[in-house]
Amino acid sequence: MNWLDKLERKFGRYAIDNLMSYIVAANAAILLIYTMVPYVGISIMDRLSFVPHFVLRGEVWRFITFIFIPPNTGFWGVIALVFYYSISRALESQWGAFRFNIYYLLGMIGTAVFSLIFGITGTPIYLNLSLFLAYAKIFSENRVYLFFILPVKVKYLAWAYWGILALSAIQGGWKALILILVSLINYFIFFGVSNVKSVKTQRKVSHNHRKFKKDSPKVIHIHRCSICGITDRDNPDMEFRYCSKCDGHYEYCAEHIFNHEHR
């Protein structure tokens, strides 16, 4: 990505190292408050969530603070935070801090801007999901333990997530579809071109494979008897000879070399 290289050379020094640690820490703090004092926790989440009506009234902090709302509550909320932190660290190690910052920022901007335009309450759920999809794209053969027991390659979980997204879009209508698409803008920008190239490459490989099979001879042999048709593939131990009295290159097996009419 040439544009990313240019941006990194110019603004790379401003990147926030280990960005996800700060986001996860804020999520964990709110989750802890919610667990200890549910009423206070809900109130805090209401003040941090991206609600276009309140943003237009001047509560501009919601452009950022909506990402601090935990993806879930209780035990599964903790597991989700640990999971998102671990895959984010892997992505940052792969890309570097600047590119990870850009990836996350694009998802934030897409969610906030389109939520504001269409009057939809923004949510970090699909933004966090885009982190997993990026991880699955890069580390597709890695395994995670589903329910801490069943090892599953992340690429299979990614396919399941794409199916869940499609179902959510169908059931939730156009608002859900918009939220899903805009929160995945970062994924499409980073991987859209490579996905198209990958599909084209796979189609070309498949086409060449079919063409090769079609053009390849069905049976390959070196020797073939002109009388009975037996080949060295039928009987590898059979001897074959050419007849010097026949007018042409006629080859015969051991049984017919002296037992045939000359041509």
- Give residue 205's pLDDT: 46
Q: Is residue 200 scored above 50 in pLDDT? A: no
Contact between 180 and 163 under an 8 Å Cβ cutoff? The reply is no
- Give residue 195's pLDDT: 46
Nearest to 51 by CA among 41, 66, 69, 30: 66
User: Is 213 within the bounds of a domain?
Assistant: no
Q: Is residue 257 scored above 80 in pLDDT? A: no
Find the domain containing 7 and state its range. Answer: 2-208
Among the ranges given (129-133, 155-159, 177-181, 253-257), the one the predictor scored with the smallest mean pLDDT: 177-181
Average pLDDT over residues 234-252: 79
pTM, whole model, 2 decimals? 0.67
Same domain, 223 and 175: no
The residue from 208, 228, 250 where one domain ends is 208
Per-residue confidence band for 201, with pLDDT thresholds at 50, 70 and 90: very low
d(CA 32, CA 50): 21
d(CA 239, CA 225): 10
Same domain, 82 and 34: yes
Same domain, 111 and 92: yes
Higher pLDDT, 4 or 59: 59
- Give residue 202's pLDDT: 45
d(CA 91, CA 104): 11
Bridge pairing between strands 150-153 and 240-242: unpaired
User: Is 214 within the bounds of a domain?
Assistant: no
Contact between 241 and 257 under an 8 Å Cβ cutoff? The reply is yes
Same domain, 193 and 263: no
Q: Is residue 119 scored above 90 in pLDDT? A: no
